[in-house]
Amino acid sequence: MFQSSSRRQRPMSFTPDDDTAYQRTIDGSTVQDAQPSPSPRGVATSDEIDLTSIPLAPNRWSRGVNGNDYTSIDYPTGISTPEVDIKSNNDSSMVDVEFKGLRSYSDIFPLDNGMTPYIEAPKVAISKGLRGNWAKLVPHILAICVSLAVCQLSFRNVYWMDLKPPDQPIAFGLTQGGALNFLQLAAKLHELLILGSISTLVLHAVQVHLTRRSGLPLGMIANAFELGSAQFLRRKSFWSFLWSVDPATGKPFPYWRFWLLSLFSTILVTLAGPSSAIAVIPTLNYFDLQRPFVAPVLPYYVWNVSTELWPTNLTAASLNAPNSGIPCNDPNSLEEQAICPVGGYNDIYDWAATLLFADTDTGTNISFEDASGATRRIVSAQSCNSTFDGRASGVSLNSFISGALTSYWIFAQENFHGIALEAAQPHINIDSQTPIFAPRVEAICNSYSNYYFDPENPDNQTDMVFPTFSGAASAIQVPDWTYKYSRPQNASNFTFVEIPGTGPETPSLGAVLALPLVENINGTWEQTTENLACSIYSSWIPVDAFYEPTVNDQVSYGIRSTMDDTCLDIPVDPVPGRTSINTTIDIDYANAINQPIVFVTGNVPAVLGVLQRFVHNDSTFIPNGVQFQSPIPSVASGVSNVLITDDQARRQRAKLVSTVLVGMITDGLARSVGDGSYPYSASFFLLPNRTSDGTLQGRFVFSSATAGDDEPLNTTDIADTSQWLRLNPTFQRYGYGYHWYGSKTTQFGISVLLVHLVIASAHLTYVLREILWKDRGLPGAWQTIPEFFALAINSGSSEKLQNTCAGISDTRTWNEPVAVREASEGHLEMVLGRNQMLQMPRARAGVRYGTLPKT
């Protein structure tokens, strides 16, 4: 490089001029140089370039500012000086140099002797054939292929894998979480393919507008490169096109098609990212197993010969099995109680003890062990505030349905082989077309105070009626014999009452209670009694039952009908055509629920035995007082020092009674026609072979035998099987996979991808038609922003762009149409304004362009 001069230096002045490249002012005289001024930095060494031998650069731009600074420049030895007069001065000569323009780098620093100048080859702006337009096809082909591969996963409900432990590798050292993260990367790559596809389409539209008659507004040229950022949406110029007018035709909004294309493409690109993630990354869901087992499974039934599983009137015939000879009234036979409606008494008795310290308005559950011992069945009960003193609701699943699903799975594990047994989380459903029902019970109670009850004159008690949902108009009188009888004031009593009638407003069953209380009557604490009249509404509601044996120890269900007038706060998914069946309960079945139970004090009816858990001796106010205690709101809610009124206490007692009633009656109805053990509504597989006398055979799965017990079915007519309940278990597995139905999110994401797929296919078809069928050329130049820069640099200036070198603020400038036209032979320029667009010829297909205009 040049060595710095050791002489004192002064500022140098650079002044532009349009006529010459360099001028020097020496002692006030201006001298025109044929060569540039010598370097002020010193003499060039052997390894440096002598600048005096370099030709002048052409002066393309005449821009600059005048300066007033000077510097001293001495002419080094060996460099010839211009022939000008230089005044003698002890200091160096005063030289004023005026800067006239920039030189190219290659002008100042010539190439090495071994290098040849690099010159771009001319190029075709409008190409024909596949070879010249492949760049328009490849982005679409890649995006379409990947989108089709992704979408078909959801359409085919492809299953990926079961849930795995967090530290378990699944492939290539990746855990399940790591694989999901990798799929997020794949989704991002898919998004980029879609972006490339849409950008190709919009860029093609830009190229077509620029090379054809209409041109394109200046503010829209870069839209194809801003789809991902949507930056053009933030420019006022983009929205100003809505009210723009074509000056030539007077038509409003002349570029509305490209405007809509830009807006729609930006929205599509924005949605493509999350949509791709939705489609690529699997989600947790249930996936059908079309062949859960290797071998076909025999038809599966519930043994209910001559027994209606969900009768409208529950009688003694509904207790367990026909002709069983078990009337469900023996307190000393635990074996018989197990298959009777009172079979869950011990669990209910334990549950009742928790009610004093529970808020039943939030719901309470009773858990019963299934007959197989492998699962539990749940009765859900819940109370609520209402116009009645006490109000509660209950629901459960029939024990024979719970037992059938449990027994099926246990039998399958021992006797079947297949993918259902290998799944980490299998899901067993009963076919939704199979009519399955569950017991639902609603209880409403009203209290009647007997402060002046005279045991010697029981008729002086207040008359009672059974409450109904329809009001007093349909009230039913409570029989006098149920409560107008002589008894001690501290006595407790419970009685079921059969209510005639089958209307929807008629209760299924009535209940009457007498409870002991210690009350303050006119300032004196006395032992007294309170009567309650309760109405029970029962029905069979349609449900879908399912079982997940590896994650849940109970058979679950979903309610498929509306539930009006209920306290239950559980999800309901009504299915058209499936309705509830109202029921009545006769006294035989009611007494089976209230079957005597052995206590140390003697046999006590089941319901009364539970209610007596709340009866305690209370000598606080009177000696030997007996009090029926109910939950105290302050205790149940965790708030202390809360006083309640007599009316609140009365409602609390009635609410407790109604909750106990729905718990016991719901369980009693769930145990109708037996508990699911053989022969009481047991489940079996129908065998293809018969006995020697032609009787059908069934393999009962709930037994001590691992392979089940084969038993005759008491019929030779295969048509009789249509009267039996056939269960059609279907299998699913829970894990990661792709699915279309049942997920609005997936449907949205796939729909976005399908929209892009249609648009990309349409553009792909259009391009192929133009280049193959019609043999037309398509513009393919200027595919990047730098290429647009190069085109603009090689184009002439326009007066319409005055004062825009530092930015554009006027929307009218953005709205100026721009086009690419043939300025001279072999040379294309970007022109601004409609006049130039119309006057200059358009680019031609197959012609190579690249020649710069001669100056």
Q: Tell me how far apart the alpha carbons of residues 259 and 247 are, in angstroms, rounded to a whole number.
A: 18
Helix/strand/coil for 421? helix
Using pLDDT thresholds of 50, 70 and 90, give the confidence band for residue 230: confident
**In a shared domain, residues 385 and 528:** yes
Helix-helix angle 129-155:256-280, to 10 degrees: 50
- Which stretches of 333-436 are assigned E, i.e. beta strand? 364-369, 376-383, 390-395, 426-430
Using pLDDT thresholds of 50, 70 and 90, give the confidence band for residue 110: low
**Range 840-846 average pLDDT:** 91
Residue 33 covered by a domain: yes
Q: At 535, which amino acid appears?
A: S
Percent pLDDT > 70 in the chain is 83
H helix runs in 780-823, sequence order: 785-793, 811-814
Residue 244 covered by a domain: yes
**In a shared domain, residues 379 and 336:** yes
Tracing tokens 């719970």 back to the chain, one arrives at 402
Q: Which of 77, 107, 79, 101 is nearest to 23 (CA)?
A: 101
Using pLDDT thresholds of 50, 70 and 90, give the confidence band for residue 612: very high
Q: Tell me how far apart the alpha carbons of residues 273 and 749 are, in angstroms, rounded to a whole number.
A: 9
Angstrom distances, CA of residue 844 to CA of 194, 771, 778:
31, 15, 10
Question: Which one has a higher pLDDT value, 587 or 798?
Answer: 587
pLDDT at residue 245, as a whole number: 73
**Range 338-362 average pLDDT:** 92
Mean pLDDT lowest among 189-198, 246-255, 587-596, 621-630: 246-255
Q: Which of 396, 338, 394 is nearest to 371 (CA)?
A: 338
**In a shared domain, residues 143 and 108:** no
pLDDT at residue 60, as a whole number: 37
pLDDT at residue 477, as a whole number: 92
**In a shared domain, residues 92 and 175:** no
Q: How many other CB atoms sit within 10 Å of the CB of residue 69?
A: 10
Using pLDDT thresholds of 50, 70 and 90, give the confidence band for residue 267: very high
- Which stretches of 437-523 are assigned E, i.e. beta strand? 437-450, 465-466, 476-477, 493-497, 509-521
For residue 564, count CB atoms less than 10 angstroms from its CB and return exposed for 0-12, middle for 13-18, buried for 19 or more: exposed
Mean pLDDT lowest among 104-108, 523-527, 586-590, 684-688: 104-108
Angstrom distances, CA of residue 75 to CA of 44, 48, 98, 193, 269:
11, 16, 18, 63, 64
Q: Which of 155-169, 214-228, 603-617, 784-798 has the largest mean confidence?
A: 603-617
Tell me the two tokens of residue 50.
């002598």
Q: Measure CA of the first residue to CA of the last residue in the chain; give whole Å.
A: 34
pLDDT at residue 596, as a whole number: 94
**In a shared domain, residues 520 and 550:** yes
Domain boundary among the residues 668, 694, 724 is at 668
Residue 840 covered by a domain: no
pLDDT at residue 116, as a whole number: 61
pLDDT at residue 365, as a whole number: 96
Rg of the Cα trace of the chain?
47
Contact criterion met (CB below 8 Å) for 353 and 613: yes
The pLDDT tens digits for 428-441 are 999 888 999 999 99
Angstrom distances, CA of residue 82 to CA of 15, 36, 103, 120, 504:
20, 10, 21, 39, 122
Q: Tell me how far apart the alpha carbons of residues 354 and 367 are, in angstroms, rounded to a whole number.
A: 13
Tell me the two tokens of residue 275.
């949509």
Whether 209 has a pLDDT exceeding 70, the answer reads: yes
pLDDT at residue 412, as a whole number: 94
**In a shared domain, residues 550 and 611:** yes
Q: How many other CB atoms sit within 10 Å of the CB of residue 170?
A: 14
pLDDT at residue 534, as a whole number: 97
The pLDDT tens digits for 492-511 are 999 999 998 767 789 999 99
Whether 179 has a pLDDT exceeding 50, the answer reads: yes
Helix or strand (DSSP H, E) at 416: none
Q: How many other CB atoms sit within 10 Å of the CB of residue 734?
A: 19
Using pLDDT thresholds of 50, 70 and 90, give the confidence band for residue 131: confident
Q: How many other CB atoms sit within 10 Å of the CB of residue 134?
A: 14
Helix or strand (DSSP H, E) at 138: helix 129-155
Peptide bond into 549 cis (omega under 30): no
Q: Which of 138, 84, 284 is nearest to 764 (CA)?
A: 138
**In a shared domain, residues 486 and 635:** yes
pLDDT at residue 14, as a whole number: 39
Using pLDDT thresholds of 50, 70 and 90, give the confidence band for residue 796: confident
Q: What is the mean pLDDT of the chain?
A: 83
Strands laid side by side in the 725-727 sheet: 709-712, 696-700, 683-690, 300-302, 725-727
Number of domains making up the chain = 3
Q: Tell me how far apart the alpha carbons of residues 849 and 328 are, in angstroms, rounded to a whole number.
A: 103
pLDDT at residue 763, as a whole number: 94
Tell me the two tokens of residue 124.
């075709």
β-bridge partners, 628: 615
Range of 240's domain?
127-282+743-782
Contact criterion met (CB below 8 Å) for 746 and 283: yes
Q: Tell me how far apart the alpha carbons of residues 810 and 801 are, in angstroms, rounded to a whole number.
A: 11
**In a shared domain, residues 492 and 629:** yes
Question: Which one has a higher pLDDT value, 377 or 320?
Answer: 377
Tracing tokens 């044929």 back to the chain, one arrives at 34
What are the respective helix, strand and coil percentages of the chain, to the nearest 5? 30, 25, 45
Helix or strand (DSSP H, E) at 761: helix 744-768
Whether 88 has a pLDDT exceeding 70, the answer reads: no
pTM: 0.73
Domain boundary among the residues 637, 668, 699 is at 668
CA-based angle 482:483:486, to the nearest 5? 120
Whether 11 has a pLDDT exceeding 90, the answer reads: no
The pLDDT tens digits for 733-774 are 999 999 888 788 999 999 999 999 999 999 999 999 999 998
Residue 658 covered by a domain: yes
Q: Tell me how far apart the alpha carbons of residues 339 and 671 are, in angstroms, rounded to a whole number.
A: 7
Using pLDDT thresholds of 50, 70 and 90, give the confidence band for residue 814: confident
Contact criterion met (CB below 8 Å) for 289 and 733: yes
Cα 309 to the center of its chain, rounded Å: 39
Residue 356 covered by a domain: yes
Contact criterion met (CB below 8 Å) for 67 and 15: yes
pLDDT at residue 633, as a whole number: 58
Contact criterion met (CB below 8 Å) for 527 and 625: yes
pLDDT at residue 422, as a whole number: 93
**In a shared domain, residues 140 and 2:** no
**Range 360-378 average pLDDT:** 90
The pLDDT tens digits for 449-489 are 888 888 888 888 889 999 998 876 567 899 999 999 999 98
pLDDT at residue 244, as a whole number: 72
Residue 169 covered by a domain: yes
**In a shared domain, residues 37 and 88:** yes
**Residue 803 phi, psi dihedral angles, 5° rounding:** 65, 30
**In a shared domain, residues 332 and 206:** no
Residue 562 covered by a domain: yes
Whether 26 has a pLDDT exceeding 70, the answer reads: no
Residue 413 covered by a domain: no
**Residue 248 phi, psi dihedral angles, 5° rounding:** -80, -45
Q: Tell me how far apart the alpha carbons of residues 582 and 564 are, in angstroms, rounded to a whole number.
A: 13
Question: Which one has a higher pLDDT value, 630 or 47?
Answer: 630
**In a shared domain, residues 83 and 24:** yes
Whether 43 has a pLDDT exceeding 50, the answer reads: no
Using pLDDT thresholds of 50, 70 and 90, give the confidence band for residue 250: low
Domain boundary among the residues 635, 668, 701 is at 668
pLDDT at residue 421, as a whole number: 95
